[in-house]
Structure 1
Amino acid sequence: MLLGDSGVGKTCFLVQFKDGAFLSGTFIATVGIDFRNKVVTVDDVKVKLQIWDTAGQERFRSVTHAYYRDAQALLLLYDITSKMSFDNIRAWLSEIHEYAQKDVVIMLLGNKADVSSERVVRTEDGETLAREYGVPFMETSAKTGMNVELAFLAIAKELKERAVQQLDEPRFQIHDYIESQKKKSSCCAFI
């Protein structure tokens, strides 16, 4: 499930992942909730993701709260060019802790990294907040596709590992997976 303030790029993020395209220009904000499906391969196993795109406006929050409890993973986005969207992350996390399952996978994403010339939220601030809440973090760009697929694949791998994990096996570490993928591409900021 994609969460975050209106205008942070949730719909573009989803379209980039699903279709490999960027929605340029202006478009109508998501009203209520929408979803898309995509099958990905994780460790030679096909995994079907059903990704819910939520409205970021306050007036739709009561609608989206109802979907939190069934979500297995939440990708929480802010816009690196909007201090307000970053400042609102704590409120989003509070709602997540109130309405979502206790073991829900959460990932923090600083979107719009392609417009770093307009950056007002430092990468370090995103890293610090993620560390405080114990969640993985990376910066992304729905426009260029930077780290979009990695975010979803890391979530899919975490969910797959949880589903098949034996009690005596070491637990999959999403942070370690992201770091290993970062080293392969060496283009991203993670904690």
Structure 2
Amino acid sequence: MAYKVDSDYDYLFKIVLIGDSGVGKSNILSRFTRNEFCLDFKSTIGVELATRTLQVEGKRIKAHIWDTAGIERHRAITSAYYRGAIGVLLIYDITKAQSFENVHRWLRELMDHADSNIVIMLAGNKADLSHNRAVKESDGQRLAEQEGLVFLETSALEAFNVEKAFQMILVNIYKIVSKKAKKRKHW
């Protein structure tokens, strides 16, 4: 979803957060949109939505950010929610090797349900727990390079790289959208 409008923002981009249950998707969303972090873990049921407007290259970009349940029984809900998404934050927990191994499954699901031009960022969350690390940062970086993804480690608890992750994905999306808009003007 990349719409140009004439209200309080110039563009509206739909971003989805995906990854296994418990990797910190909801806290990343909460940290980015409300600057809050909740220590009480509650699984997301279905889908949650939050928004935030940012400046990107002089334009007001409104990000509609969708947080989905990472639990298998909610998978039917998630396939429809990719529709219209222009960006994805694929999150794993650096302390849980299984969540990193499941990144390939999430990428397959994206290929099955999302637009082929979608911007994907891989984020290793919970960098504040590096003393319990099960996934090396270099492994995340290597996987991102192999798959052509942007990569960053984050910590929703410490607000480390959360803002940067969304800025990076929104800048990448904006560049693609503005390049397409310029091409249309030249026709």
For residues 69-102 of structure 1, give each alpha carbon's deviation from its aligned partner in whole angstroms, at most 9, with x where no partner exists: 3211010000000011001000000100111001
Counterpart of 1:78, as a letter, is Y
**Distance of 1:28 and 1:64 partners within structure 2:** 18
1:7-26 equivalences under 5 Å are: 7-24=22-39, 26=40
Alignment match, 2:52: 38
Which of 6, 12, 21 lines up with 1:6 in the alignment? 21
| 2:129 aligned counterpart, secondary structure | helix
Across the two proteins, how many residue pairs are aligned to each other?
167
Quote how far apart the aligned CAs of 1:27 are: 3.3
Quote how far apart the aligned CAs of 1:142 are: 0.5
Quote how far apart the aligned CAs of 1:44 are: 2.1
Alignment match, 1:49: 63
Which of 117, 135, 138 lines up with 2:131 in the alignment? 117
Alignment match, 2:171: 157
1:79-98 equivalences under 5 Å are: 79-98=93-112
Counterpart of 1:55, as a letter, is A
- Greater strand share, 1 or 2? 2
1:145-184 equivalences under 5 Å are: 145-165=159-179, 166-167=182-183
| 1:106 aligned counterpart, secondary structure | strand
Counterpart of 1:50, as a letter, is H
Alignment match, 1:183: none
**Distance of 1:19 and 1:44 partners within structure 2:** 23
Quote how far apart the aligned CAs of 1:114 are: 0.5
| 2:23 aligned counterpart, secondary structure | coil
Counterpart of 2:33, as a letter, is K
**Distance of 2:30 and 2:99 partners within structure 1:** 21
**Superposition TM-score, scaled by structure 2 size:** 0.86
| 2:79 aligned counterpart, secondary structure | helix
Gaps of 5+ in 1: 168-191
**Distance of 1:162 and 1:137 partners within structure 2:** 18
**Distance of 1:142 and 1:157 partners within structure 2:** 21
Q: Flag as ranges the 4+ runs of structure 1 deviating above 4 A.
A: none
Gaps of 5+ in 2: 1-15
**Superposition TM-score, scaled by structure 1 size:** 0.85
Which of 104, 107, 111 lines up with 2:118 in the alignment? 104
| 2:30 aligned counterpart, secondary structure | helix
Counterpart of 2:124, as a letter, is G
Counterpart of 2:161, as a letter, is N
